């Protein structure tokens, strides 16, 4: 569908009616010119209940049924290893796709997805809603405008708490086969995406993973160093084993000596620019409310993310309507996946992993040219 043939009201299908689907349902409800017309879940009760709750005409049990209703966009809200099948089916039907992160759990799968969307001439966007924090947008704009110099050092620290039931109550979580990884794949990937957005193409990764407190196959803790094509360096520290969550911090130092720190605390809320050290002085803007909750439950965390999902959904709808690339492309999402998979490989082999050009070169390979 070229931008000249975009209908007035884009018809949207949601695939997967679990925890994060609420964010997509509410985000599309707030997006001008788009309307959710069908929801799909392999659990028919879930699909029906979601349709009833949100007043949606159709509830179906398969992606083929959803596509047969005639939609312009789908949101993919299913477990990570299932993303590929859904995306390939939608691309084959000429439907634009907004997919939850991670794009996939292996690079071959991610590449098949971006290639299929490119070949079909449909947009592929991947949810990294933290890019829409005003503080992240400002940091990026200042780097692009060269107001801070070149980024030389990045740090991301992700200190989260997950109750054991987070893994035990959802059967697909916590195993290599059905979750693809642990804290890196599911939580830290958001902040790895921010690091890459700020620092550029990653070229080498070393790391170590461990499982300390959770009864899961995959890692609950990880450390890594990343080297970027520019020569910039970054560290990643991440865990879901913290007794009391401290949220996540992304910090960038640039060649002028300026350092900006964005803190997301509590998890899910707006990342705030809490510290700026520039021109020989330091300013802090914590500005926290009094009623902080350290270990919020998942529904609260996901609920707090709705404004950021709303911003990214609006961006994606505009991209479809205007025929331009969305803010976060499938290729962007492949780069963050490449970094975390390299941490797994480095941890296994004890050696640094070089990222090959096809994993990391910037550019919107799935961008539609028609």
Ligand X SMILES: NC(=O)c1ccc[n+]([C@@H]2O[C@H](COP(=O)([O-])OP(=O)(O)OC[C@H]3O[C@@H](n4cnc5c(N)ncnc54)[C@H](O)[C@@H]3O)[C@@H](O)[C@H]2O)c1
* Stretch in the footprint of ligand X (CB under 6 A) among 10-18, 28-36, 316-324, 349-357: 10-18
Determine the Cα–Cα distance for residues 236 and 347; give it in Å rounded to an integer.
14
The kind and range of the H/E element at 74 are: strand 73-76
Contact map string, positions 281 to 310, toward ligand X, x by CB under 6 A = ---------------------x--x-----
| Beta-sheet strands, E only, within 144-258 | 151-159, 202-210, 221-228, 233-239, 247-254
Q: Is 264 in the site for ligand X (CB under 6 A)?
A: no
Q: How far is the CB of 172 from ligand X (least distance, A)?
A: 6
The stretch among 76-84, 106-114, 149-157, 362-370 that binds ligand X (CB under 6 A) is 76-84
Instruction: Kindly state the smallest distance separating residue 46's Cβ from ligand X, in Å.
Output: 5
Among 170, 235, 237, 256, contact with ligand X (rule: CB under 6 A): 170
Instruction: Give min distance, CB of 253 to ligand X, in A.
Output: 27
Smallest distance, ligand X to C-beta of residue 186, A: 6
162 Cβ contact list (under 8 Å, min separation 6):
214, 220, 240, 241
We find the least distance from the C-beta atom of residue 248 to ligand X, in angstroms, to be 12
Cα angle, residue 247 at apex, residues 284 and 293 outer, rounded to 5°: 95
Distance between CA 87 and CA 83 in Å, rounded?
6
Least distance in angstroms from the C-beta of 23 to ligand X: 7
- The Cα 307–Cα 165 span in angstroms is 26
If binding means CB under 6 A, how many residues of this protein chain bind ligand X? 25
Tell me which residue has its CB nearest to ligand X.
18
Cα separation of 360 and 150, whole Å?
A: 19
CB of 127 to ligand X, least distance (A): 4
Structure tokens belonging to residue 232: 């910039």
Residue 195 in the binding site for ligand X (CB under 6 A): no
**Cβ-based nearer residue to ligand X, 127 or 194:** 127
Site for ligand X in 85-144 (CB under 6 A): 100-101, 127, 129
Q: Which residues pair with 75 in a beta bridge?
A: 14, 98
Using CB under 6 A, which of 10, 12, 14, 17 touches ligand X? 17
Q: Does 20 bind ligand X (CB under 6 A)?
A: yes
Q: Examine residue 78 and tell whether it contacts ligand X (CB under 6 A).
A: yes
Q: Which of 186, 253, 346, 347 binds ligand X (CB under 6 A)?
A: 186
Q: Which residues pair with 72 in a beta bridge?
A: none
Structural contact between residues 207 and 346, judged by C-beta atoms closer than 8 angstroms:
yes
Measured between alpha carbons, how far is 157 from 168 in angstroms, rounded to an integer?
25
* Residue burial 167-176, b: 16+ Cβ < 10 Å; e: rest: beeeebbbee
Which of 10, 12, 40, 158 forms a contact with ligand X (CB under 6 A)? Answer: 40
Greatest distance between any 2 Cα atoms in the chain: 61
Of 42, 233, 275, 365, which one interacts with ligand X (CB under 6 A)? 42
Q: Is 352 exposed, middle or buried (0-12, 13-18, 19+ CB in 10 A)?
A: middle
CB of residue 54 to ligand X, shortest distance in Å: 15
365's CB contacts (< 8 A; 6+ apart) are 114, 115, 118, 329, 330, 331
Nearest approach in angstroms of CB 62 to ligand X is 7
Question: Per CB under 6 A, does 26 bind ligand X?
Answer: no
Residues that bind ligand X (CB under 6 A): 15-20, 40-43, 46, 63, 77-80, 82, 100-101, 127, 129, 170, 186, 302, 305
């Amino acid at each position: 569908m070229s931008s000249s043939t975009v209908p007035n009201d884009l018809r949207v299908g949601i695939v997967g009616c679990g925890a994060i689907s609420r964010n997509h349902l509410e985000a599309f409800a707030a997006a001008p010119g788009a309307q959710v017309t069908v929801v799909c879940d392999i659990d028919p009760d879930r699909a029906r209940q979601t349709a009833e709750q949100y007043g949606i005409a159709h509830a179906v049990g398969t992606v083929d049924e959803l596509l047969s209703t005639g939609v312009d966009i789908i949101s993919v809200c299913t477990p990570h290893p299932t993303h590929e099948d859904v995306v390939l089916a939608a691309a084959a039907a000429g439907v634009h796709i907004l997919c939850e992160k991670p794009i996939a759990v292996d690079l071959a799968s991610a590449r098949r997805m971006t290639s299929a969307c490119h070949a079909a001439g449909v947009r592929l966007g991947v949810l990294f809603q933290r890019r829409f924090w005003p503080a992240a947008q400002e940091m990026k704009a200042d780097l692009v405008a060269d107001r801070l110099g070149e980024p030389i050092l990045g740090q991301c620290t992700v200190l989260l708490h997950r109750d054991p039931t987070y893994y035990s109550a959802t059967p697909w979580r916590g195993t290599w086969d059905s979750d693809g990884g642990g804290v890196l794949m599911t939580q830290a990937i958001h902040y790895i995406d921010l690091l890459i957005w700020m620092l550029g193409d990653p070229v080498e990764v070393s790391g170590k993973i461990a499982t300390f407190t959770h009864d899961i196959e995959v890692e609950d803790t990880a450390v890594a160093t990343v080297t970027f094509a520019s020569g910039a360096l970054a560290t990643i520290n991440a865990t879901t084993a913290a007794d009391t969550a401290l949220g996540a911090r992304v910090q960038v130092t640039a060649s002028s000596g300026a350092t900006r720190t964005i803190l997301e605390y509590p998890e899910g809320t707006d990342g705030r620019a809490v510290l700026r050290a520039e021109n020989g002085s330091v300013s802090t803007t914590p500005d926290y409310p009094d009623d902080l909750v350290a270990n919020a439950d998942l529904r609260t965390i996901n609920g707090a993310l709705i404004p950021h999902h709303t911003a990214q959904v609006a961006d994606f709808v505009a991209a479809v309507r205007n025929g331009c690339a969305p803010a976060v492309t499938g290729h962007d999402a492949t780069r963050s996946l490449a970094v975390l998979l390299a941490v797994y490989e480095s941890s296994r082999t004890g050696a640094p992993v070089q990222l090959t050009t096809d994993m990391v070169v910037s550019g919107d390979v799935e961008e539609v040219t028609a």
